Amino acid sequence: MVRRVIPLVAQTAPLPVPMHAVGEAPGPLHDQLQRPLRDLRISVTDRCNFRCSYCMPKEVFNKDYPYLPHSALLSFEEIARLARLFVAQGVRKIRLTGGEPLLRKNIEVLVAQLAALRTPDGAPLDLTLTTNGSLLARKAASLKAAGLNRVTVSLDGLDDTVFRRMNDVDFPVADVLHGIDAAQRAGLGPIKVNMVVKRGTNEQEIVPMARHFRGTGVVLRFIEYMDVGATNGWRMDEVLPSAEVVQRLSAELPLVALDPSAPGETAERWGYADGSGEIGVISSVTQAFCHDCNRARLSTEGQVYLCLFASRGHDLRGLLRGGASDADITQAIAGIWQQRSDRYSQLRGAGMLAPREKRIEMSYIGG
């Protein structure tokens, strides 16, 4: 059998970095659809110790997969410099992601550097991290001490057999739950738990997950199985619409609709009628939220992507390592965002997608 090897980075060249004048004082940016830049997601590694089929399937991401050499990765100092310039232009929230970000050696050092940043009006950032939870028990206290505010943990079921099958490395669910407990004790909250729901695979875990986390202060969010990248074999018939998730939950645990927590929030919020907590649903397939998406993504090797479903990014590492000034990089960031018009999910839902290049993998730019 021929082994499939799909390159991590699209073979097409990066998009040119536009250099727009932004005036003497950088400030909030808006794209072509008048969406502000508020959220920066930073991938710190392209590696992960899980092989979830919807993200890094084992048959593709095997021992022969061409991961990035360490020299290609942005250093912590480079990441912090770019983050500072993004914050000057409107970013208020930074999420560290991967791959699995806790695999990046000394990640606490980067957390401390980012925690020291302040917005132009002197406010601290909302600094968070998404993890599969496998290393969280040993890292939670040091992450909090370094300045991390909270964590989001990916967990696709409570049944150990189902969970081991989905992570495809035989990792026990008990260890992830232990990590969540450690994060709560460390004060990394409110904790969010993300469950990707794949029809025919783990839908039976919806109600047990809700019952487990109800009343704990943990916010459970159900995510529709998405058509990210080119390796996960996505099919529409494996998508369980969020509306059906809410329907199933309401039959067991009555829910009431809640207002969005912030502009551009991806999750639709629902509270338990008895006041014992809340859940969220992220409907990126059946109910696109492109109209108020305020997120940019910085890849492990310094490319900016403007959509989770993008094909190519804009190279900022070249500017960093080519001696560009802060003013030059600020202009580049402004030009990139101001030219943005991405709305993949909205166009897909309307049947208006034109043929396009192969999309970047989610494991490369984070979810």
**Which residues carry a binding-site annotation for [4Fe-4S] cluster?**
48, 52, 55, 290, 293, 307
User: Which burial class, exposed, middle or buried, applies to 351 when counting CB atoms under 10 A from its CB (0-12, 13-18, 19+)?
Assistant: exposed
For 213: left if phi > 0, alpha if psi spans -120 to 50, otherwise beta; the answer is alpha
Burial pattern 12-37, b for ≥16 Cβ within 10 A else e, equals eebbebebeebeeebeebebeeebbb
CA distances from 247 to 25, 76, 244, 252 (A): 49, 44, 5, 9
The binding site for S-adenosyl-L-methionine consists of 54, 99, 154, 226
Interhelix angle 242-252/206-213, rounded to 10 degrees, is 60
Answer yes or no: are the C-beta atoms of 272 and 214 closer than 8 Å: yes
Q: What would the two tokens of residue 138 be?
A: 């040993």
The binding site consists of 41, 48, 52, 54-55, 95, 99, 130, 154, 192, 226, 290, 293, 295-297, 307
The binding site for GTP consists of 41, 95, 130, 192, 295-297
Distance between CA atoms of residues 198 and 156, nearest Å: 9
